Amino acid sequence: MTVLVSGSLAYDRIMPFAGYFKDNILPDKIHNLNVSFFVQDLQESFGGTAGNIAYNLALLGQSAALLANVGSKDFDPYRIWLKKNKIDFTQVKILKNQQTASAYIITDKADNQISGFFPGAMRQPYQLQANKLQANIAIVSPQNPSDMVKLPKIFKARKIPYIFDPGQQITSLTKSGLISGIAGSKILIGNDYEIDLIIKKTGWSMAALLGASETVVTTLGSKGSIIRQGKAIHRIPPAKPKDILDPTGAGDAYRAGLIYGLLKGWPLPKIGRLAGLVAVYTVEKYGTQTHKFSWADLARRYRQNFSEKL
């Protein structure tokens, strides 16, 4: 089984703030915002949407090939990490005299986040060799907006089922670009805010989304997720984390579990439960590729959370 994971490869700089953003931002002064947060720590880790998804797929025992741009100036540590975790980076484009993307994320006690993202090499469109493309499934996660329009067209032409995950780039995509990516996708996925934003931007109803995409997945954080297909609605209960240290990357981990379950041909409720369980591992650690799990551990926690065998 071959999985293509397109998106960003980035270095994450995660900084926990001991207070609440809401206590330090005055609503009536929002037009003149000038605020600084004294953070307790700074942890650098490997991240990016594509990197995070591929890392969790590797933990599940599923190989994945990355489609992304990185910079020659600083990619080497990430390259070593990908090789160590047996993630295929042969289709990663290393651009000379460029930096790899970087995310700077401040997280408060309520898990609210303020982020700054430097795209680096991702500013340039990814050059894909489409004539050599083969895969059982692909995912288009947030990256250069032009790639998010181009790649779904290529996957459809090559008859490769794909998951469309516009995420943070919904605001950057045009209405026509967003519709083009959704139409013909195997799955459209986003959190509840993102799905509402998609509905607003496209002018489509949920029924119209389900007419354009085979399945719509709405993640709800600590409340689980909802998977809609046709007239069926599957409400997926959440898995319980042992601790909540950093929510960054939970959505990417969910997507890895989703992809794995789809490849196995499992029923949607089981796929959703596995995806939600995979996601809790990353919130238990700072960073998005700092956690680990085994299938024995997954089976044990799956039974604990859902009272059934994995």
CA 184, 209, 263, 286 dihedral sign is positive
For 251-279, what is each residue's pLDDT tens digit? Answer: 999 999 999 999 999 999 999 999 999 99
Query: To which CATH superfamily is domain 3-168+248-306 assigned?
Result: Ribokinase (3.40.1190.20)
Spans in the chain with pLDDT lower than 70: none
DSSP letter string, 52-118: HHHHHHHHTT---EEE-EEETTT-HHHHHHHHHTT-B-TT-EEETT-PPEEEEEEE-TTS-EEEEEE
Q: Which two tokens stand for residue 17?
A: 């703030």
pLDDT in the model for residue 76:
97
Tell me whether residue 30 is exposed, middle or buried, using C-beta atoms within 10 angstroms of its C-beta: 0 to 12, 13 to 18, 19 or more.
exposed
The residues with which 234 forms a beta bridge, in sequence order, are 227
Sorted by where each begins, the domain ranges of the chain are 3-168+248-306
DSSP 8-state class, residue 238? P
pLDDT in the model for residue 133:
84
pLDDT in the model for residue 130:
76
Q: Which two tokens stand for residue 245?
A: 């240290």
pTM, rounded to two decimals: 0.93
pLDDT in the model for residue 223:
96
For 16-27, what is each residue's pLDDT tens digit? Answer: 899 999 999 988
